[in-house]
Chains A and B, each alone.
Chain A
């Protein structure tokens, strides 16, 4: 698997097939048992790896948003750049407000996560990751916990990001979205990548029987 700068990659596959494990290995949240991953020339499986340096380059958005519940939306976005990157508070606040505006949450800056809907929380989470200016964004089934109406607003946000040239790796069950946005789609089953290809060929002319079976079940 190879992801180039600015590329959007979707990983699909049945539950327990290793999709999430794969992207969690990219920012060292999971340990790598075998094989290797290189992010911007940095070997992730290297035992001497500086995890903090790696994680500054790789942003991640989770299924359950995982916002800090005791901080407002704005504080959630501002915290990491101030505490981790030691950036100037004023500049960070300006950028954080712009990011919240970008994910269309203007006016919600001072709301706590508990006061926001799932879709709004997820967009705060996206803004929180973007505030670190990552080179790659990982999305781990970010719409799986949302109700259907709010899925769209989150997907729209990701689409905007992708169109601006952000490198994105998504684990998703939204096939329509994958087809529309991805440069390349990967299918995993039982811990291995079975098949991959550009969405047009992947969805319509899948070669592997496992891929075909999976697609026939959900499409």
Chain B
């Protein structure tokens, strides 16, 4: 590609001739895709946080079996590609989990949207387990001891002392993982969940406007992630303790 065609490619005309803006049908598809991506992101973030908190608590449990199980879970989801996990859920487990529909033919028990949510939540959740655990371990033992000396029970210490401090320590790493999770929602494309990338590909293959749709796609994700980062930043700011960590 010579320099003239690079300039051609960057020419702003494309932003003014977008079928997602001018064409009502495409606009509807684009907004539906955007809404789907937002749903995937928000639900997966929420569930992955629960998976992370429960997993981290289980890893600190006295039961060895429980700790080993959580260890396997984390290793499985951390050491395999998320796309392979998604295929595994959709094609391997999805074809087994079927019920007989009204017309007598087998129907999947979980929709492709459902599998995307499950897969993404477990994937990000496994990493959240590690992030939360690191946060819990970083709470000084002496602080816990002070609570013990005051007569606190184990669970009270966990709830009132360890968790509030661990969350603060975990936040930066958690933010990185959640931003990655939002970007990983594009994998749902592979099992035909009509999210942003999926609808963009539909539009560009019909309208032959690949470059424009690429720009739209990139800007959309910049926007979505910016909102998430803004939320996380404000959360971090609200939790900041004057004079702590200096």
B218 to chain A, nearest CB (A): 39
User: Judging by beta carbons under 8 Å apart, are A112 and B242 in contact?
Assistant: yes
B156 at the interface (CB under 8 A from A): yes
Select one of A27, A66, A114 contacting B246, CB under 8 A: A114
User: Judging by beta carbons under 8 Å apart, are A113 and B243 in contact?
Assistant: yes
Q: Tell me the complex Cα distance, A55–B150, Å.
A: 6
A114-B244 contact, Cβ under 8 Å, with A68-B161, A70-B164:
yes
User: Judging by beta carbons under 8 Å apart, are B152 and A114 in contact?
Assistant: no
Select one of B142, B160, B164 contacting A62, CB under 8 A: B142
- Enumerate chain B residues within 8 angstroms of A22, measured Cβ to Cβ: none
A83 at the interface (CB under 8 A from B): yes
A56-B151 contact, Cβ under 8 Å, with A62-B146, A68-B143:
yes
Q: Tell me the complex Cα distance, A113–B161, Å.
A: 14
A66-B244 contact, Cβ under 8 Å, with A80-B152, A83-B160, A84-B151:
no
A188 at the interface (CB under 8 A from B): no
- Enumerate chain B residues within 8 angstroms of A53, measured Cβ to Cβ: 151
- Enumerate chain B residues within 8 angstroms of A29, measured Cβ to Cβ: 145, 148-149
A66-B148 contact, Cβ under 8 Å, with A114-B242, A114-B245:
no
A10 at the interface (CB under 8 A from B): no
- Enumerate chain A residues within 8 angstroms of B6, measured Cβ to Cβ: none
Q: Give 1 or 0 for each of B218-245: 1 = CB within 8 Å of chain A CB.
A: 0000000000000000000000011111
Q: Tell me the complex Cα distance, A133–B91, Å.
A: 64
B217 at the interface (CB under 8 A from A): no
- B134-166 residues with Cβ-Cβ distance < 8 A to A are 140, 142-143, 145-153, 156, 160-161, 164-165
Q: Which residue of B lies closest to A55 (CB)?
A: B151
User: Judging by beta carbons under 8 Å apart, are B243 and A112 in contact?
Assistant: yes
B168 at the interface (CB under 8 A from A): yes
A115 at the interface (CB under 8 A from B): yes
A112-B244 contact, Cβ under 8 Å, with A68-B143, A83-B160:
yes
Most buried by B among A55, A83, A114: A83
User: Judging by beta carbons under 8 Å apart, are A115 and B146 in contact?
Assistant: no
Known: A62-B145, A69-B143. 5 other contacts (CB 8 A): A68-B143, A69-B244, A83-B156, A111-B243, A112-B242
Name A's B-contacting residues (CB within 8 A): 27, 29, 52-53, 55-56, 58-60, 62, 64, 66-70, 79-80, 83-85, 111-116, 125, 128-129, 132
Q: List 30 A-B contacts (CB under 8 A).
A: A29-B148, A52-B153, A55-B149, A55-B150, A55-B151, A56-B151, A59-B149, A62-B142, A62-B146, A62-B149, A64-B142, A66-B140, A66-B143, A66-B145, A69-B241, A69-B244, A70-B168, A79-B150, A80-B151, A84-B150, A111-B243, A113-B243, A113-B244, A114-B242, A114-B243, A114-B244, A114-B245, A116-B243, A125-B146, A129-B149
